[in-house]
Protein backbone atom coordinates (compact mmCIF):
# COMPACT_ATOMS: atom_id res chain seq x y z
CA UNK A 1 0.00 0.00 0.00
CA UNK A 2 1.07 3.57 -0.57
CA UNK A 3 1.62 5.96 2.32
CA UNK A 4 1.87 9.74 2.34
CA UNK A 5 4.66 11.03 4.57
CA UNK A 6 4.68 14.71 5.44
CA UNK A 7 7.76 16.10 7.17
CA UNK A 8 7.42 19.49 8.88
CA UNK A 9 10.42 21.81 8.84
CA UNK A 10 11.62 23.63 11.92
CA UNK A 11 12.19 27.37 11.68
CA UNK A 12 15.43 28.23 9.86
CA UNK A 13 15.90 24.65 8.66
CA UNK A 14 18.03 25.36 5.57
CA UNK A 15 21.44 24.64 7.14
CA UNK A 16 20.17 21.44 8.76
CA UNK A 17 18.58 20.36 5.48
CA UNK A 18 21.80 21.03 3.60
CA UNK A 19 23.82 18.91 6.04
CA UNK A 20 21.48 15.92 5.68
CA UNK A 21 20.38 16.31 2.04
CA UNK A 22 22.74 13.75 0.50
CA UNK A 23 21.65 11.01 2.92
CA UNK A 24 17.97 12.02 2.61
CA UNK A 25 18.11 11.80 -1.20
CA UNK A 26 20.00 8.49 -1.07
CA UNK A 27 17.10 6.91 0.82
CA UNK A 28 14.61 8.31 -1.70
CA UNK A 29 16.69 7.03 -4.62
CA UNK A 30 16.70 3.61 -2.98
CA UNK A 31 12.88 3.60 -2.86
CA UNK A 32 12.81 4.76 -6.48
CA UNK A 33 15.21 2.02 -7.58
CA UNK A 34 12.92 -0.52 -5.90
CA UNK A 35 9.91 0.88 -7.80
CA UNK A 36 8.27 1.97 -4.53
CA UNK A 37 8.40 5.78 -4.85
CA UNK A 38 5.41 7.55 -6.39
CA UNK A 39 6.62 11.11 -5.77
CA UNK A 40 8.69 13.18 -3.37
CA UNK A 41 9.66 16.80 -2.98
CA UNK A 42 9.92 19.84 -0.73
CA UNK A 43 7.10 22.23 0.11
CA UNK A 44 8.40 25.79 -0.45
CA UNK A 45 7.49 28.20 2.35
CA UNK A 46 6.48 30.80 -0.25
CA UNK A 47 4.88 30.61 -3.69
CA UNK A 48 8.12 30.20 -5.62
CA UNK A 49 10.01 27.29 -7.18
CA UNK A 50 13.15 28.54 -5.43
CA UNK A 51 12.10 30.02 -2.09
CA UNK A 52 15.59 31.29 -1.31
CA UNK A 53 16.09 32.22 2.35
CA UNK A 54 12.36 31.68 3.06
CA UNK A 55 13.17 27.97 2.89
CA UNK A 56 10.68 25.17 3.13
CA UNK A 57 7.59 24.40 5.18
CA UNK A 58 8.26 20.68 4.87
CA UNK A 59 8.36 17.82 2.42
CA UNK A 60 5.97 15.30 0.90
CA UNK A 61 6.85 11.69 0.11
CA UNK A 62 4.42 9.14 -1.31
CA UNK A 63 5.85 5.66 -1.33
CA UNK A 64 4.87 2.03 -0.99
CA UNK A 65 5.52 0.20 2.28
CA UNK A 66 4.37 -3.19 3.59
CA UNK A 67 2.51 -1.55 6.49
CA UNK A 68 1.79 1.70 8.30
CA UNK A 69 4.29 0.64 10.95
CA UNK A 70 7.01 0.24 8.31
CA UNK A 71 6.18 3.63 6.79
CA UNK A 72 6.30 5.31 10.21
CA UNK A 73 9.60 3.65 11.08
CA UNK A 74 11.07 4.74 7.72
CA UNK A 75 9.86 8.32 8.29
CA UNK A 76 11.24 8.42 11.85
CA UNK A 77 14.67 7.35 10.55
CA UNK A 78 14.84 10.02 7.84
CA UNK A 79 18.08 12.03 7.93
CA UNK A 80 16.08 15.27 8.09
CA UNK A 81 14.47 14.06 11.34
CA UNK A 82 17.82 12.91 12.74
CA UNK A 83 19.47 16.25 11.80
CA UNK A 84 16.67 18.28 13.38
CA UNK A 85 15.52 19.83 10.07
CA UNK A 86 12.07 18.33 10.54
CA UNK A 87 10.19 18.79 13.79
CA UNK A 88 8.26 15.62 13.06
CA UNK A 89 6.31 13.67 10.48
CA UNK A 90 2.78 12.53 9.76
CA UNK A 91 2.06 9.29 7.94
CA UNK A 92 -1.26 8.53 6.24
CA UNK A 93 -2.44 5.70 4.01
CA UNK A 94 -2.70 6.91 0.43
CA UNK A 95 -4.88 5.56 -2.34
CA UNK A 96 -3.59 6.47 -5.81
CA UNK A 97 -6.55 7.13 -8.13
CA UNK A 98 -5.18 9.21 -11.03
CA UNK A 99 -3.50 9.07 -13.47
* 9-38 confidence digits (pLDDT tens): 999 999 999 999 999 999 999 999 999 999
Model-wide pTM > 0.75: yes
Q: Report H helices in the chain.
A: 14-33, 68-76, 79-82
Sorting pLDDT into bands at 50, 70 and 90, what band is 99? confident
**Which of 9, 2, 5 has its CA nearest to residue 76?**
5
Q: Is the dihedral of CA 57, 76, 35, 14 positive or negative?
A: positive
**Does the pLDDT value for residue 39 go beyond 90?**
yes
Amino acid sequence: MFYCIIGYDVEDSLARRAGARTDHLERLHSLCDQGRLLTAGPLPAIDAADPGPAGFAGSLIIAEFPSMEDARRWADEDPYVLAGAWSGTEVHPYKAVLP
